[in-house]
Amino acid sequence: MQANTTLLAGKSYVPALDGFRGLAIMVVVISHYGLGKVIPGGFGVTLFFFISGFLITRLLIAEYEKEHRIDLKSFYIRRVLRLYPALFFMVAIAIGFTMFMGCGFQSGAVLSTLFYYRNYYMLFGGSLSPANCTRIFDITWSLSIEEHFYLFFPLLFMAFYRRPKILATLMGISIVSVLAWRLYLVATEGLTELTVYRIYHLTDTRLDAIMFGCLVSLILHQDRVGRYIRIVAHPAVFAGAIGLLFFTFLYRDGTFRETWRYSLQALALSVILPAVLYGKSYTSLMHWLSTPWLVTIGKLSYSLYLFHWVGVSVAENLIGGERLKAPWLLTAVPLGLLLSLLSYNYIEKPTARLRKRFGSTVETAPLIADSTLVTERPFVG
C-alpha cells in the first residue's frame, strides 16, 4: 500500500483529525460531569497531547519543505493569536467568579494561567484545596504543558530536521526519559497523593505523549514508500493496539497507572491514528470520524475545554459537589455550552482571520464540517 504523502506533511484540512479531537473533548467533558469512574477522562488529555505533537510536526515539516526555513516569529505570533483571545475571555469570567465567591482577586492564579505555569503553580502555589474557588483556573494545566512544548520544539526541529535520524533519536530519548522519570518518582516517593498529582499534571512527567505524536509524524514523512502505514494498518497490529489501549483502562494497579499507562496509551495511538487516517482498510472509521456532528465538536474543542470547566466550577461552588444531579447539570452544562459558543463565534473565528496575516492557512470555518477547508487548527487540551 502506497502512503498518501500529500497528507502526511501538509496543511490540507483532514476532517477526521477534528473527529479525533471531538472524541477527546467528549471523553474529558463527560468525565468531569460526573462519570470519571467509568469514562477515562485522563485519556482524553493524552489523546489531545498526542495529536498536538503529530499536527505541529506535520505543519513544521510542510513549512520547511516549502520555504526551506521556519519563521519562528510568525510561528509564535500564530500561537498567541490562537490561544490567548479565548483564554483572556475565560480568565475575565474566572476573575469575576472568584471575586463574587469571596476569594478576591487572586494574582497568583491569574498570572500562572496567563503565563502558562498553572500546572506547577497548582502543585507548589498552595491551590490544591478542593474547596478553593480558584480551582476554576486549574483547567489550564494541560495548556501549560502544550505551551512549554511549543516553546522548545520548533528550536529542536530547526536544529536537526536536516538530520532526521538524529531528530528521531532525540525524540525517542525524550520519550524514554520521561517514562524513566516517572518510574523513579514512584520508586523513591511511593504512591503518595502528592506524587500522583505531580505525575499527572507536570510537564516533565507528561511530555512523552506529545513527543510520541511528533515522532510518528516525522516517521510518516520520511517513510516515502508507506512501510510504517502497512505495519500499523495490519489487522493484527491494529487489533493489538486497540487491545493494549483497553488494557490500560482496565488494569488498575497503582504503579502501572502512574508510570507505564501514559507511555502505552501513546504507543497504542501511534498505531491507531495513522492507521485510521492513512490505511485503506479503515476508511469506514475515517468516514465516521469525519461526520459533521463529530467534526463540529472537534472545532469547538478548545472553547469547550476551557468553558465546560467554568460551568463545572460554578455549579460546584453554588450548587454543591454532587455531580450528575439535575440541579448541578442544569447549571454546569448550559453555562459551559453557552460560553463555548460565544467564545468560538465571537472570539476564535475573528482572530482566525487575523492569524492569516502571519502565515496561517486557517479559514474562518463554519461549525458544520466542510472537507474543502484548508486549516492549521492546532490541537490544545
pLDDT of 14: 86
Residues 374, 17 contacting (CB under 8 angstroms): no
- Mean pLDDT for the chain overall: 89
Residue 375 falls inside a structural domain: no
- Residue 362 pLDDT more than 50? no
Residue 6 falls inside a structural domain: no
Residues 303, 21 contacting (CB under 8 angstroms): no
pLDDT in tens, 143-194: 999 999 999 999 999 999 999 999 999 999 999 999 999 999 999 999 999 9
Q: Which residue has the higher pLDDT, 281 or 380?
A: 281
Q: Is 12 helix (H, G, I), strand (E, B) or coil?
A: strand
Beta-carbon contacts of 92 under 8 Å, excluding residues fewer than 6 positions away, are none
pLDDT of 21: 97
Cα–Cα distance, 210 to 56 (Å, whole number): 10
pLDDT in tens, 5-40: 444 555 567 899 999 999 999 999 999 999 998 999
Residue 378 falls inside a structural domain: no
pLDDT of 126: 60
Residues 16, 276 contacting (CB under 8 angstroms): yes
pLDDT in tens, 187-222: 999 999 999 999 999 999 999 999 999 999 999 999
Phi, psi of 307 (to 5 degrees): -90, -20
With bands split at pLDDT 50, 70 and 90, how would you rate the model's confidence at 380? very low
pLDDT of 127: 53
pLDDT of 130: 52
Residues 301-328 have a mean pLDDT of 93
Residue 7 falls inside a structural domain: no
Residue 76 falls inside a structural domain: yes
pLDDT of 77: 93
- Residue 372 pLDDT more than 80? no
Number of domains in the chain: 1
- Residue 377 pLDDT more than 50? no
Residues 82-89 have a mean pLDDT of 96
Residue 376 falls inside a structural domain: no
pLDDT of 3: 42
Residue 307 falls inside a structural domain: yes
Beta-bridge partners for 12? 374
Residue 364 falls inside a structural domain: no
Q: Is 112 left (phi over 0), alpha (psi -120 to 50) or beta?
A: alpha
Q: Which domain holds residue 341?
A: 16-356
